[in-house]
Structure 1
């Protein structure tokens, strides 16, 4: 078996374990059970898992449970104490500390920021006060070609796909980095996710893993998210569920975009900025 094929098989086997954690975040997830699912010896599994995913099994479980907490907090029908107990914390204090490390702010502030930045009504383009910048703005983008790597596996392993694309990029110049969501993540297997780089430099024709895609042009609803990438899913859900219905627009059949405006390699998680771009058209 060639090295690239063996590496791909390792990733697929580890992805089964990650998928099991994501499917049932509140289960016990014993190391022996996950190793059996991935067809690895329990003796070697944890080391292999950490090398592929970039973190320990316990860190993945903790992160997936806290990601579940962001969805529960976004819904707003449970108190912070109830959310803490639901995701496996014995006290709201312990949950608040863990959530602060995960999301860069307390659970209460997370709820308040989502509501004031996204869920509250925002001015339409014809609003009489154009001087007040809305939290969601309407932009028109031109079609842009990008080099993209398709992500396989659960969302929690997306950072690994980013690292793989960076290894393909090498010393080439990159002007922008994107995440591209094609379809509804709840409607698998139709859903596809890509990490993408916009680069003016030439790429080797033999690099078959990397695809040349076009990011479609057109109208987008843009919201600049402040803080860690762990907030992205909750913010996108809030845009679709709460902002879009009252906006005068409807979703278009183009990918949803994450445009990374800076890098976790250069700034702290709280200083990260990501443009979330929802494809739209005027409502009929």
Structure 2
């Protein structure tokens, strides 16, 4: 809700819909319980989280360099450009132009040839997932593999949810040039059979969702996961002609694993949602 197009809406409407009483109502919880549980899970208050993610979205729009400053303040629900300027100045000690210049000067060079993309029309993919918040470097370790995908596999196996072929996915929600490393969000996912209802207990860290149906441009990265930032930066500048980036998450599809594959031979498909 925070990171959406608020153009044409008033700042009051943003503040009302993102107010803690309104969020508590949506969650069917008391305001106090929502605040306590949210901080216990994220280590920051709701107010801090809203401000941070709103500023990260502003930075992403500045980095994309497709909208004017005036368009950006409307897009993220500020009352006027001065309000955005003051908030950025207070948080980063930079004007919007200075922050944009800094972001655009931060670049990652991908060292290898990138094979041509293919376009895929995908149906929804039901998955079980575990969420992780922290440095993405951790995601390539054996310990992380054991905690996440091995755990998901055992749960799916015990509950007769595995499809004929094991299928592992991931969603890296954040740009490490913008979001602090300790706040980066990642979902480790395993595909399960379609048409089989599953509802892990509310107390379980394992959750269920569907990867979105849609059109994707699929690129293949071979090698170290540490190069994925540079890979993303490169392919996002090479989207298929007549298409633009969609609003659903970018997906990572892991064709092998660092637990039994040399780093140089790791294969990761990056599924970029695209729309005409």
TM-score, structure 2 length as denominator? Answer: 0.49
TM normalised by structure 1 equals 0.48
